[in-house]
């Protein structure tokens, strides 16, 4: 660690770190009377965030981890255990409650449904979990209408620099290139360049990032991958060929940023098409990887095209340009999720590619309409021909985000070059 933090345990620093999601997840306009589901990758900071929230509102003793055997014993002994706590604590304001890993209980939906229906006016319930909560959340509808779902992502540049002053909370600003470029020029980037390099090297998971040592990072990464591909896969599916799945995980980093060809992977691994497709779906459910769809005016045509794949932990990759593109992909989907979760519209990140193989890395889409285009480059500040072409064709701004650029530049045709640090301070 640097800046005098060498001897401070990383867990203390993690607990003190502010996460951007804390600034909107408890907005009463959105979540009053609703359960809040918080999902995301393992070890991304969900439990720490939940406990810090309870501490901030003076309710540390209403955190309940369903991995704790003693909690299960209490609940089985008395199914009204939590209701009694609510009745005891309730005065005038809702009682803050956290259920962590409740989805590991076989009857978790019914427990939540009954608890919520009886106590909804007396509590504010945050339910946290990783792969299985997100997975099971999609597979049943008994809780529909009772919750809003949010996602916690790996760390962003404003979080690690503790500077939230430049974050854009209006998706419409991206449609105005000159306005966005102006905001990027105003962004304070002191210390941000160094923080970005550390993010690129150690990834955005709090513990390895804050430890900041290669030895710990390698050990953490190996354990993390084994945990996902063995324990979580066992809990989520009936996959017998764990070795084959692990081989797929070893192959996928070389595919990042490119269109994923399942037939090609099927041939490489000697597995059926449906097997590879199922494995990739499971890896997405585990929050190891995510995919981006192509955008096209005709939705059916876009669905037929191959997706692009990225990792939540970009530090698993080796090529600098690919690592930077992957970090940008995570930053953009985090931004799109935030704008969707705050009720600004349905935002999504996609990509563009045509038969002439003209391609742009990312497209910000709102309600299936393209807002702007993004291309990532390590050092190249010459405007991408494909970016200029699509920008003119769609009449939207094209932003070239350059890792090593020195300044924000404006070019003819509604095209802009923005240094990565300036841009990432805006996206959150």
To the nearest 10 degrees (0 to 180), the angle between helices 81-89 and 69-77 is 90
255 alpha carbon, distance to own chain's centre: 20
Confidence (pLDDT) at 3: 44
Q: Which tokens belong to 381?
A: 């500040």
Q: Which tokens belong to 424?
A: 């990432």
Q: pLDDT tens-digit profile of 145-178? A: 899 999 999 999 999 999 999 999 888 899 999 9
Interatomic CA distance for residues 301 and 200, integer angstroms = 35
Confidence (pLDDT) at 105: 79
- pTM (predicted TM-score): 0.93
Q: Where are the alpha helices (DSSP H) in 342-409?
A: 385-394
* Nearby residues of 371 by Cβ (< 8 Å), 6 or more positions away: 171, 172, 174, 175, 363, 364, 365, 396
Q: Which tokens belong to 214?
A: 């290669």
Quick check: 112 and 127 in contact, CB under 8 A?
yes
Interatomic CA distance for residues 359 and 218, integer angstroms = 34
Structural domains in the chain plus CATH codes: 20-151 (3.40.50.300), 157-427 (no CATH)
Choose among 341, 269, 331, 324: nearest CA to 29. 341
Confidence (pLDDT) at 303: 63
Quick check: 136 and 110 in contact, CB under 8 A?
no
Secondary-structure breakdown of the chain: helix, strand, coil percentages, each rounded to the nearest 5: 50, 15, 35
Confidence (pLDDT) at 297: 79
Q: pLDDT tens-digit profile of 101-130? A: 888 777 888 889 999 999 999 999 999 987
Per-residue pLDDT tens digits of the chain, which is 428 residues long? 444 445 545 555 566 789 999 999 999 999 888 999 999 999 999 999 999 999 999 999 999 999 898 998 899 899 999 999 999 999 989 999 999 988 877 788 888 999 999 999 999 999 998 766 765 555 556 788 899 999 999 999 999 999 999 999 888 899 999 999 999 999 999 899 999 999 999 999 999 999 999 999 999 999 998 888 877 777 666 777 888 889 999 999 999 999 999 999 999 999 999 999 999 998 998 899 999 999 987 756 666 689 999 999 999 999 999 999 999 999 999 999 999 999 999 999 999 998 888 999 999 999 999 999 999 999 999 999 999 999 999 999 999 999 999 999 999 999 999 999 999 999 99
* Nearby residues of 331 by Cβ (< 8 Å), 6 or more positions away: 156, 157, 424, 427, 428
Interatomic CA distance for residues 345 and 159, integer angstroms = 24
Q: Which tokens belong to 336?
A: 């799109």
Q: Which tokens belong to 408?
A: 């924000």
Confidence (pLDDT) at 102: 87
The strand pairing partners of 37, in sequence order, are 127, 149
Q: Which tokens belong to 160?
A: 């690690």
Quick check: 424 and 196 in contact, CB under 8 A?
yes
Residue 75: helix, strand or coil by DSSP? helix
């Amino acid at each position: 660690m640097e800046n005098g933090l060498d001897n401070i345990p990383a867990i203390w620093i993690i607990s003190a770190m502010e996460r951007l999601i804390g600034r909107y997840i408890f907005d009463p306009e959105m979540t009053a009377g609703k359960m809040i589901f918080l999902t995301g990758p393992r070890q991304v900071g969900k439990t720490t965030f939940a406990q810090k929230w309870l501490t901030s509102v003076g309710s540390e003793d209403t955190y309940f981890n369903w991995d704790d055997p003693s909690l299960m014993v209490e609940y089985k002994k008395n199914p009204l255990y939590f209701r009694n706590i609510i009745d005891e604590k309730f005065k005038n304001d809702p009682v803050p409650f956290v259920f962590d890993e409740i989805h590991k209980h076989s009857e978790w939906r019914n427990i939540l449904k009954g608890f919520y229906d009886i106590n909804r006016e007396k509590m504010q319930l945050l339910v946290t979990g990783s792969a299985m909560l997100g997975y099971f959340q999609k597979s049943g509808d008994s809780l529909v209408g009772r919750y809003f779902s949010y996602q916690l992502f790996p760390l962003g540049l404003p979080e690690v620099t503790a500077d939230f002053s430049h974050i854009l909370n209006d998706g419409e600003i991206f449609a105005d290139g000159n306005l966005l470029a102006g905001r990027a020029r105003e962004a304070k980037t002191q210390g941000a360049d160094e923080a970005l390099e550390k993010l690129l090297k150690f990834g955005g998971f709090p513990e390895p990032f804050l430890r900041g040592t290669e030895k710990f990072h390698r050990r953490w990464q190996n354990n993390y991958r084994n945990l996902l591909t063995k324990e979580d896969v066992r809990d989520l599916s009936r996959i017998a060929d764990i070795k084959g799945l692990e081989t797929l995980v070893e192959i996928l980093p070389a595919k990042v940023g490119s269109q994923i060809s399942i037939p090609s992977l099927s041939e490489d691994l000697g597995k059926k098409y449906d097997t590879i497709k199922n494995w990739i779906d499971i890896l997405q459910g585990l929050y190891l990887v995510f995919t981006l769809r192509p955008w096209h005016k005709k939705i059916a045509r876009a669905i037929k095209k191959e997706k692009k794949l990225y990792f939540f932990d970009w530090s698993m990759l080796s090529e600098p340009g690919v690592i930077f593109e992957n970090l940008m992909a995570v930053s953009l989907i985090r931004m799109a999720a935030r704008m969707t979760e705050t009720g600004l519209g349905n935002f999504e990140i996609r990509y563009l590619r045509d038969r002439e193989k003209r391609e742009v890395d990312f497209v910000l889409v709102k309600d299936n309409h393209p807002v702007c285009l993004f291309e990532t480059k390590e050092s190249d500040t010459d405007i991408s021909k494909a970016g200029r072409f699509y920008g003119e064709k769609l009449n939207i701004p094209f932003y070239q985000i350059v890792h090593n650029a020195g300044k924000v530049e404006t070019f003819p045709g509604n095209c802009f070059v923005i240094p990565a640090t300036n841009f990432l301070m805006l996206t959150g």
